[in-house]
Amino acid sequence: MSTAYAGTILFDNPVFDNPVDSPQGWRHDSWRNLVFLSGEEMQQGDGGNDAVGAVLRRHQMKPEKGSLQQGEGFMKNMRHWCLLFIILLGAASPAVAALEWNLRAELPLDGTPLEMALNPEDGRMFVLLEGGRLQVFAADGQLEEQFSVAAGASSMVLSPDGQRLFIGNAAAKTLQVVDISYIFDLPVGNSPIKGEKSAPVTLTVFDDFQCPYCARLVPLLDQLVAAYPGKVRLVFKHFPLRMHKFAEQAAIASLAAREQGKFWEMHDQLFANYNKLNETLINDLARKVGLDMKRFAKDMGNVTLSMEVAADMRLGQEAGVRGTPSLFINGKPAQERNLAALGQLIDRELAKGAGEQKD
């Protein structure tokens, strides 16, 4: 089969449909593109594109631009070319695979399903039911949430990032846009905190000390803590990326500084020098912030601190962290990176907390 034309060429019958049509010339574009011309058609015009067009028109194929090469004694070598072509075609053809299927799960639904959408990031399934009910299942098939949308909802689409649902109502001719917020449990543990420890709003940041974007976010996070005194606290989590050679060492160094009560001082120095960190500079920065260097050196080899960094990374991965910086507000991922937008999200959390207290 030739993939360059809208038609099929066979070697052993019915392409040349009368005795005059014995191949006398050929054009070779690649090992998969051979066009054979009859002796009669070779005599038309100059034996070039007119002849090619004649053959292709007769076999209902679209001609392709190219040169025509003629060769005497082609019939003599015809079998060799055919054999070579068949071998190459067979080698390039994909293997035929058998289809096997297994029933992975059977999910109990509260009604007749109308639409289903899958979040490719985390495997969550959204099922729209008759009557405007929506059920959300985790990747393992466990029911996570169910709630009501428009009673006449008839269709549903999930945005590529999995953060928004578009629910259509054919009868009412309306479209609902539903924002989806995933709330992750992010325990503080021994992580460093900036701000009031009992603040109602927690900003949790997963950072890498060699990440330029993390370094740029530092002033903004400080502004937010300062703008909401007593109401917002910042929790720092480590997420050193493999692509950054000294990121994990810097993370352990910051925790070694925490053991001496100077995490944030070390934090600021590391980010101020994010683009030139190495082992020597990290030690120099520890000395600069006034650490006891003997104790610092001992703590740098403390397995407990290394395990704490690893635990932060596992927590981040469970929360969907793929890069840095990753910011969460009361466990909800926040994509915004400006003071006004983040301030609105904080205000929303504060208002929600005030409403819960009234209840």
* Rounded Cα–Cα distance for residues 9 and 186 (Å): 64
Q: Is the pLDDT of residue 306 over 90?
A: yes
Numbered ranges of CATH 3.40.30.10 in the chain: 193-358
Numbered ranges of CATH 2.40.10 in the chain: 113-179
DSSP string covering 320-335, please?
T--SS-EEEETTEEE-
- As a CATH number, domain 113-179 is 2.40.10
CB contact at 8 A, 224 and 339:
yes
* 64-68, 163-167, 245-249: which is most confident: 245-249
pLDDT digits (tens, 9 = 90+) for 243-266: 999 999 999 999 999 999 999 999
CATH class of 193-358: alpha beta
CB contact at 8 A, 33 and 4:
yes
pLDDT digits (tens, 9 = 90+) for 102-155: 887 888 899 999 999 998 878 889 999 999 999 999 888 899 889 888 889 999
Q: What is the mean pLDDT of residues 88-98?
A: 64
CB contact at 8 A, 156 and 126:
yes
Residue 15, pLDDT score: 40
* Rounded Cα–Cα distance for residues 26 and 66 (Å): 11
Amino acid identity, position 207: D
Q: Is the pLDDT of residue 79 over 50?
A: yes
**Where are the alpha helices (H) located in the chain, listed in sequence order?**
39-42, 49-58, 74-92, 212-227, 247-258, 263-272, 279-288, 293-300, 303-318, 339-358
Residue 1, pLDDT score: 35
pLDDT digits (tens, 9 = 90+) for 171-229: 999 999 988 888 999 999 999 999 999 999 999 999 999 999 999 999 999 999 999 99
